[in-house]
Amino acid sequence: MRVLITNDDGIGSPGLAALVHAFDAASEVYVVAPEHERSATGHAITLHKPLRAHPSGIAGSAAQAWATNGTPADCVALGMLDLLGSRPDIVVSGINVGPNMGRDLTYSGTVSGAMEGAIFGVPSIAVSIGSFRNPVFTTAAQFAVDLAQAIIRYGLPEDTLLNVNVPNLPGPQIAGVAITRQGTKRYISRLEKRTDPRGRTYYWLTGEPAPQMDDEGTDSWALARGQISVTPIGLDLTSERLREVIARWPLAVPFETPHQ
């Protein structure tokens, strides 16, 4: 199995090292990851400045590794189009410190790395650990290997990926694996308004988890029950239900265009 590993916490992140070590035993591992943290970067790609990739390494592993000045999606593109020489069998993005679930998914650099893999037509998974504090990666890393092997065996349909969130618990305390749907849980955005030493206003954008609990069967529901959550994600964002509604609206090409 040829594996391309990326992340958004940066190439020095212990979550990435844990993935590399878990895959090392049975795979040919390549790492292309941002040289520094690129969290909340969304599915950004870099078109307006040159990209660089520096040979790097992961302690305790012989995996070929590169650190780049790009986003997770850039890293996958650089790996696919040049660094790896040929396509990998799977792309694994993570392990992110902190969950990637619910409405926050579209902000996630970790998920965007897997999205880019899927757009390249390679089966891809994103892996996150459900806590920002004292993360223990071993169970999540081994689950990623098991899941990758299942994907190699059974295949993933085109234009899909799997988003995995693992509770931050020792393996024996994890209450099984749930195949979930994306919940609606989100961070409530807050803005801290401050004044700099020169008297000018600046802002810090922060967030806190919304208090509402998600429904049964969602990603955050499974995680709260101590289960590993696996959410199948599609790249088609069309809302078919809304499509039927809008089709009944009286929309037409404007006849008058006031600012010719």
According to CB under 8 A, which residues from 204 to 233 bind a second copy? Answer: 204-206, 228, 230-233
Dihedral sign of CA atoms 4, 9, 11, 14 in order: negative
- Smallest separation (angstroms) from a second copy to the CB of 2: 19
Stretch that binds a second copy, among 27-35, 84-92, 126-134, 198-206 (CB under 8 A): 198-206
Is residue 205 within 8 Å of residue 83, measured between CB atoms? no
> Which pair of structure tokens corresponds to residue 90?
């799977």
**In angstroms, how far apart are the furthest CA atoms of the chain?**
69
Q: Which of 198, 202, 208, 211 binds a second copy (CB under 8 A)?
A: 202
- Smallest separation (angstroms) from a second copy to the CB of 165: 13
Nearer to a second copy, 25 or 86 (CB): 25
Size of the site for a second copy (CB under 8 A): 103
- Smallest separation (angstroms) from a second copy to the CB of 98: 12
Stretch that binds a second copy, among 27-35, 88-96, 98-106, 126-134 (CB under 8 A): 98-106
Is residue 31 within 8 Å of residue 66, measured between CB atoms? yes
Looking at residues 102 to 141 of the shown chain, list those that interact with a second copy (rule: CB under 8 A). Answer: 103, 105-107, 112, 115, 119-120, 138-139, 141
82-120 burial, b for 16+ CB within 10 Å, e for fewer?
ebbeeebebbbbbbbbbbbbbebbebbbbbbbbbbbbbb
- Smallest separation (angstroms) from a second copy to the CB of 121: 10
Spell out the residues 6+ positions from residue 79 whose beta carbon is closer than 8 angstroms to its own: 4, 6, 30, 32, 66, 88
> Which pair of structure tokens corresponds to residue 169?
């618990």
Looking at residues 34 to 93 of the shown chain, list those that interact with a second copy (rule: CB under 8 A). Answer: 37, 39-48, 50-53, 70-71, 73-74, 77-78, 80-82
> Which pair of structure tokens corresponds to residue 187?
């961070």
- Smallest separation (angstroms) from a second copy to the CB of 7: 16
Stretch that binds a second copy, among 27-35, 88-96, 127-135, 191-199 (CB under 8 A): 191-199
